[in-house]
Amino acid sequence: MNAKMKPSSPWRVLLPLGIGTCLSLLGDSSLYTVLPTHTAAAGVSVASVGILLSANRFIRLVLNGPAGMAYDRWPRRPLFVSALFIGACSTAIYGLTQGFWPLLLGRLLWGLAWAGIWVGGNTIVFDIVDDKNRGRWIGIYQFSFFLGASGGAMLGGVLTDLLGFHQTMIVNAALTLIGAIIALIFLPETRSSKQYPADGSADPQRPLASNPSQKAEIFSITALFSANRLVMAGILMSTLGIFLKNRIGEQVQVAGHSLGVTTLTGLGLGLSTLIAMLSAPLIGGISDRVGNRWRVAAGGLVPGVVGFGLMALGLPVTILFGIPLIATSSGSNQGLSTALSGDLGNGQKQSRRLGVLFTFGDFASAIGPPLAYALMPLVGINTLYLASAGLFALMLFVTLHRAARRGVS
């Protein structure tokens, strides 16, 4: 299955690529769901949770760039498949060991794996798309990301309540391994799908953005992506379990059945990522048709502002409505910021540009958990969610400004 791909057959690429990416995320998403409430089973202290949940992101600050350079220089397929197998090993460490240092090793290995998976996966999608369908296909690939995140959150919460922490992680490692094998067998090579000038400059059919505001646009794309990673992967994912535990206690009665807070947290995070999974390709396709992605990005931020405001109120009904609204913005922000990066111009350095974008996003998401856990005793979770609403509101003004500039350019 090493045949040269053509852009006319994207599903031959997207299916094995998406399956591998989706299954690779199960262990990471499960850990976010269950580690804050199962520190004893994992053999770690509560104070170390923030460090462990962000360690993989900190190491990606130095790995995303080299990953981008590697994908620009060498064939995509062997790099991507190798990253999937490393991801399976990292999740197996969660299930087979106990204590801070083994878990830290697993998190660092996952950081190495995800740098290869995410930079490589988006590069592969860029190989098979163009300006007219980039938003849609990037959104479809984001679908696999959110499916893995939602599946890991729900599966992790339910299985941990049923089987225990370590058994759940072993199941996740096995599923990740299956995804790696599928990609090994079915994923074709895409590096020669597009031909670029030997000097690595942009596609001559669409020159790299040449107007004076190019650097400002790059900054805005990076800010949008980073803000999304900070409040979603950094703050919400790492605090929702404690937030729900403070509001409802260890158990809650739903339709005559008792649900543990871990299961409820998994369902909440799963619902969030499920909605983001659907919104990413939908809003990406809309941006292709509208022709001004910044205008669509501005509209996508509004639900997030409202949703975090509702979460800050801390009432059961506002939480119920807040999570879906936040998730809608999450899918929009992640998909459109990646597509906007591709709009700036393709070429042999496209992977390095993605590496830089994801490095800033990883920095934002890495500081999120320790920052949240440091501020919670001082200001409370509700205030953190209100600040998240304010950050999305700030990005709304940025995107509106960029949309206006794009409209007159």
Looking up residue 166, the CATH number of its domain turns out to be: 1.20.1250.20
DSSP line for 180-204 = HHHHHHHPPB-TTSS---TT----T
Q: Is 327 inside a domain boundary?
A: yes
CA separation for the pair 389, 235 (Å, rounded): 12
8 A C-beta contact, residue 29 and residue 147: no
Q: Is 196 inside a domain boundary?
A: no
Return the pLDDT at 212.
Answer: 52
Among candidate residues 362, 356, 300, the one with its CA nearest the CA of residue 331: 300
Q: The tokens 């890991």 sit on which residue?
A: 152
**Which residues on neighbouring strands pair with residue 252, listed in sequence order?**
259
CA separation for the pair 202, 256 (Å, rounded): 61
Rounded alpha-carbon distances, angstroms, from residue 57 to 43, 84, 281, 368: 22, 17, 25, 10
Contacts of 281 (CB under 8 A, 6+ apart): 136, 139, 140, 142, 143, 335
Return the pLDDT at 253.
Answer: 55
Q: Is 37 inside a domain boundary?
A: yes
Helices assigned H by DSSP within 163-253? 165-186, 214-229, 237-248
Q: Is 346 inside a domain boundary?
A: yes
8 A C-beta contact, residue 165 and residue 34: yes
CA separation for the pair 306, 309 (Å, rounded): 5
Return the pLDDT at 347.
Answer: 58
Q: Fill in the amino acid letter for 247.
A: R
Return the pLDDT at 3.
Answer: 43
pTM of the model: 0.82
Q: Is 227 inside a domain boundary?
A: yes
Return the pLDDT at 199.
Answer: 43
CA separation for the pair 406, 409 (Å, rounded): 5
Q: Is 208 inside a domain boundary?
A: no
Return the pLDDT at 251.
Answer: 61
8 A C-beta contact, residue 298 and residue 329: no
Give how many domains the chain has, as a whole number.
1
CA separation for the pair 301, 393 (Å, rounded): 7
Return the pLDDT at 257.
Answer: 63
Return the pLDDT at 205.
Answer: 40
Return the pLDDT at 348.
Answer: 59
CB-count burial class (<10 Å; 0-12, 13-18, 19+) for 238: buried
Q: Is 195 inside a domain boundary?
A: no
Q: Is 372 inside a domain boundary?
A: yes
CA torsion through residues 223, 225, 228, 230, sign: negative
Angle 100-127/350-379 helices, nearest 10 degrees?
140
pLDDT in tens, the chain (409 residues): 444 444 457 889 999 999 999 999 999 989 988 998 899 999 999 889 878 988 898 899 999 999 999 998 999 999 999 999 999 999 999 999 999 999 999 999 999 999 999 999 999 998 888 878 899 999 999 889 888 887 887 888 889 989 999 999 999 999 999 999 999 999 999 887 554 444 444 444 444 444 456 788 889 999 999 999 999 988 998 888 888 777 776 666 555 666 676 777 777 777 777 788 889 999 999 999 998 899 999 999 999 999 999 999 988 788 889 989 999 999 999 999 999 988 876 555 778 889 999 999 989 988 888 889 889 989 988 999 999 999 999 999 999 999 988 765 4
CA separation for the pair 116, 135 (Å, rounded): 22
Domain of residue 54, residue span: 10-189+213-408
Return the pLDDT at 114.
Answer: 96
CA separation for the pair 72, 70 (Å, rounded): 5
